[in-house]
Amino acid sequence: MKELLEKIRQDAKEAIDAASDLEALNAARVRFSGKKGELTAVLKQMGGLSAEERPIVGQLANEVRGDIENRIAEKEADLKSKATEMKLKSEKIDVTLPGKKEVLGKKHPLSIVLDEIKEIFIGMGFDVVQGPEVEYDYYNFEALNIPKDHPARDTQDTFYITDNILLRTQTSSVQIRTMEERKPPIRIIAPGRVYRSDAVDATHSPLFHQVEGLVVDKGITMSDLKGTLEVFIKALYGEESQVRFRPHHFPFTEPSAEMDVMCFACHGEGCRLCKGEGWIELLGCGMVHPKVLENCGIDPEVYSGFALGLGLERVVMRRFNIDDMRLLYENDQRFLNQF
Ligand code: DAH
């Protein structure tokens, strides 16, 4: 029996030494010192021993059990620390590796310029107001002195929703809404989307943006209009920029004008950008028509006003030298990241 115990001790030592992971070690524990293990099996036979032999074999058996358990405990600690070491190694963070860059969004060129325009007008005491894009015929045309049969309607190919409701073709509708709601003095700009049934090309889009301006007070004259616009253009395009006014016609202003800026590329000489003109048309404006004031319950004998309307896309394209309007709507990152 002594030999048997020594053999178990030896077999156990080999099995424990050979165990390469906790699973194998546990298998060795079950095999040698478990309840149904080899050591227990030997101890069960001790009943057949003589009274002198029993304590000796008993002592040896305890020694072997202790030996096996110590060995297992040692090996277990060893395996565990190796596992931790491996884990640490595999999870090591290399702080010298380059980081992943977050891609930041940017302001759209239309927003960049619109924000500047707002800033300039706010600085001159204007409020920024809004009106609906789905609009009544009355606000978009009728009250602006454009009756049903007026030829000006032909130039603004309108998306009608019903006979009386449409997608606004101009932000001028907000002039009427503002004058209905506020008493003079009025100083507002109204930026927003407008819609016209135009085919898409380099200079047309069925959806584009306008900025409307309106000033109404006692004693407002054409020189207020010219002065305001000159300050605006110099703030937007630089102190050296020059403007000129050409007579024009709009049903809702009298007199009406178009304002040009001197070409940035050739400074009035005439080049490709300005198509040889030396000047670039930028916006429409004029003195608010007395009929329009009347339509809004403002007495044209007491008050006068000026109005202006500019196409935002046009201003942006001239500002950044963009030759195709479609670029502004495609949201191509390669284009947008240039601003
Ligand atoms: N609403 C005009 C258009 O869409 C632009 C315009 C011209 C607005 C003259 C005005 C103005 O307020 O006074 O073509």
pLDDT digits (tens, 9 = 90+) for 201-246: 888 899 999 999 999 999 999 999 999 999 999 999 899 989 999 9
**The pair of three-digit structure tokens given for residue 126, joined into one six-digit string:** 């204007």
Out of 172, 187, 207, mutate this one to test ligand 1's pocket (max ligand atoms within 8 Å of CB): namely 172
Helical H runs in the chain?
2-18, 22-33, 38-44, 53-90, 109-123, 137-140, 173-181, 222-237, 290-295, 312-320, 333-336
The atom of ligand 1 lying closest to the CA of 286 is 13
pLDDT tens string 6-50: 888 888 888 888 888 888 888 888 888 888 888 888 778 877 888
Average per-residue pLDDT for the chain: 91
pLDDT of residue 140: 97
Please tell me the distance from the alpha carbon of residue 36 to that of residue 43, in angstroms, as a whole number.
11
The atom of ligand 1 lying closest to the CA of 169 is 4
Please tell me the distance from the alpha carbon of residue 10 to that of residue 216, in angstroms, as a whole number.
108
| Ligand 1 pocket check for 145: Cβ under 6 Å | no
Span of 148-162, 183-197, 235-249, 292-306 with lowest mean pLDDT: 148-162
| Ligand 1 pocket check for 285: Cβ under 6 Å | yes
pLDDT tens string 38-87: 888 877 887 788 888 888 888 888 888 888 888 888 888 888 888 888 88
**The pair of three-digit structure tokens given for residue 22, joined into one six-digit string:** 């906790």
Strands 243-250 and 134-136: unpaired
Nearest alpha-carbon partner for 178 in 134, 228, 225, 139:
139
pLDDT of residue 155: 67
| Ligand 1 pocket check for 212: Cβ under 6 Å | yes
Contact 148, 135 (CB under 8 A): no
Name the percent of the chain lying above pLDDT 70. 100
Long-range pairs for 293-298: beta carbons < 8 A, 24 or more residues apart: 293/179, 293/216, 295/143, 295/145, 295/176, 296/143, 296/176, 296/179, 296/180, 297/179, 297/180, 298/179, 298/184, 298/216
| Ligand 1 pocket check for 228: Cβ under 6 Å | no
